[in-house]
Amino acid sequence: MRGFKDPNFSDRLSTAAKAKEAQLEKARAKARAAQAGAAERQSARVSVNAQREERAAKRKVEKAAQAKRDAEERVAKEAARVEAEKLAAAARAKEAAEAAARKAKKDADDKVARDKRYADRKKRKK
């Protein structure tokens, strides 16, 4: 039976170097695998980013179109409001003119009635 062999310094050094080399090889293999998938992931990222930018551009165009429609709608509403205001002002002016005409007619009728009463009173005194 053999006895226990105590490793000397050079054996330990070579064992450590082999272990270190094995770990480096393992890391290199992992890096190569990552590099192979990296191109795919990068192209996927580029594609997703392009789609995102396209959607953002569409939203920007739609937002600008909506703003234009809103502005046109506001202009149309303002024009309608001004027109309604003009019509209301014309109706108020017409009503005021009619009221003035009614008042003038009533005043004239009241004057005629007052003059008639005055004339009747004068007749009775004579």
Model confidence at 104, pLDDT cuts 50, 70, 90, reads very high
- Tokens found for residue 48: 């997703």
Model confidence at 83, pLDDT cuts 50, 70, 90, reads very high
**Tens digits of per-residue pLDDT, 65-78?**
999 999 999 999 99
Q: Which residue has the tokens 């590099």?
A: 35
CA–CA gap between residue 48 and residue 56 (Å, rounded): 12
- Domain locations in the chain as residue ranges: 10-96
CA–CA gap between residue 52 and residue 11 (Å, rounded): 59
Identify whether the C-beta of residue 15 lies closer than 8 Å to the C-beta of residue 7.
yes
Q: End-to-end alpha-carbon separation of the chain, Å?
A: 176
pLDDT of the residue at 92: 96
**Tens digits of per-residue pLDDT, 23-82?**
999 999 888 877 777 878 888 999 999 999 999 999 999 999 999 999 999 999 999 999
Give the contacts of 15 (CB within 8 A, at least 6 positions apart). 7
